Amino acid sequence: MKEPYGMRTAAFAVGDYDLEATLNSGQAFRWTRCGESWASVVRGQWVRLRRFENVIQAEVALPTKDWAWLRAYLQLDLDLASVLRTFPHDGPMKSAMETCRGLRLLRQEPWECLASFIVSSTKQIVQIRQVISALCSRFGAPVAVPQGIAQEHAFPSPMVIASLEEADLRACKMGFRAPYLLETARQIAANPSILNLEDLSVEAARSRLMEFPGVGRKIADCVLLFAYGMQAAFPVDVWVARALRDLYFRGQRQSLAQLNSFALDYFGPFAGYAQQYLFHWMRTRPRGEG
DNA sequence: CTCCAGGCGCCTT
DNA sequence: AAGGCGCATGGA
């Protein structure tokens, strides 16, 4: 019998999917481990995920019939093997692919992704998570949670952030990034369609994002990659710059422009996907190796 | 204590 | 065009 009002749980068949690496690789900042599961708020809904042998089990707070939003977020329909085949077959990429087997890119909500990465500049991932947690608990709308689960909050909308003062944001410990986030939120609140970049080329979409204060090439590329699925975007941060320099330029320092130009040529149509493998590999392998 | 973190904007050359 | 510096905050 079909449950007319939907179920609070669902199971999605998956093969090559490393849930932990995916949720904990610095692309999203609100996932927390609870035992064998991972919990977060996605598009205003509390979610808990657990990986079993052949499925990912999902639990939400309210009976649900349509799980398309979660399937899209987790990118369950992507054929990962066909993406990996496009990566260069060099030593570093082979090591990264072995170490990070099953690592995926998520498809996040654009505003949350943009705001999160505006906050990210020159911060460690643990700090980014703390700032975003404070931002959500102070200013995000409460969301439904199951019995016995602590109150959670949605990511605050552009309109909510736009209505705040700079001091409110600084109270979340985001420092000099506060005016950037505030002004970006105000521009988007005044014209929400400004984030409708889906039909633009990567270059045009990047230019639009870089018009926001606090958004340069790197943050724009993160948003293109993690929210819009534009997988040719190749964010170059300190980790990736170091990896490229050491692995492909014999340790000789290159300018960001040179690294971006190299990456576009070298890593192919899914360069951004390859970047996430390099990034996660560099961050998780023991120091001093390779 | 110092160094650095998923950078950016602005100011010099 | 290209490079240097300050910016808040806190982990290592």
A23-40 tens-digit pLDDT: 999 999 999 999 999 999
Find the Å distance, CA of residue A95 to C1' of nucleotide B3.
29
Share of chain A above pLDDT 70, in %: 97
**Residue A135: C-alpha distances to residues A62, A76, A140, A206, A222 (Å):** 24, 29, 7, 26, 20
Find the Å distance, CA of residue A119 to C1' of nucleotide C7.
13
The mean pLDDT of chain A is: 95
Whether pLDDT at A48 is above 60: yes
- State pLDDT tens for residues A182-208: 999 999 999 999 999 999 999 999 999
Average pLDDT over residues A168-187: 98
Find the Å distance, CA of residue A30 to C1' of nucleotide C3.
36
Those nucleotides of strand C lying less than 7 Å from any protein Cβ are 2-3, 7-12
Residues in A 100-129 whose C-beta is less than 7 A from nucleic strand B are 117, 120-128
Average pLDDT over residues A172-186: 98
* Residue-level pLDDT at A290: 42
Residue nearest to nucleotide C2 (CA to C1'): A255
- State pLDDT tens for residues A216-242: 999 999 999 999 999 999 999 999 999
Whether pLDDT at A79 is above 80: yes
Token pair listed for A253: 């320092």
Average pLDDT over residues A135-145: 98
Whether pLDDT at A1 is above 70: no
* Residue-level pLDDT at A118: 98
* Residue-level pLDDT at A3: 55
Find the Å distance, CA of residue A201 to C1' of nucleotide C12.
41
Share of chain A above pLDDT 90, in %: 95
Average pLDDT over residues A102-124: 98
* Burial bucket for residue A164 (CB in 10 Å: 0-12, 13-18, 19+): buried
Average pLDDT over residues A41-45: 98
Residue nearest to nucleotide C12 (CA to C1'): A124
Find the Å distance, CA of residue A254 to C1' of nucleotide C1.
15
Find the Å distance, CA of residue A120 to C1' of nucleotide B4.
14
Residue nearest to nucleotide C11 (CA to C1'): A124
Residues in A 231-260 whose C-beta is less than 7 A from nucleic strand B are 235-240
* Residue-level pLDDT at A82: 97
Band (pLDDT 50/70/90 cuts) for residue A4 is low
* Residue-level pLDDT at A211: 98
Whether pLDDT at A288 is above 60: no
Residue nearest to nucleotide C6 (CA to C1'): A176
Find the Å distance, CA of residue A109 to C1' of nucleotide C12.
32
Which residues get their CB within 7 angstroms of nucleic chain C? A 122-124, 126-127, 130, 170, 173, 175-176, 255, 257
* Residue-level pLDDT at A285: 81
- Which residues are bridge partners to A41 per DSSP? A46
Model-level pTM greater than 0.85? Answer: yes
Average pLDDT over residues A133-158: 98
* Residue-level pLDDT at A5: 77
* Residue-level pLDDT at A287: 57
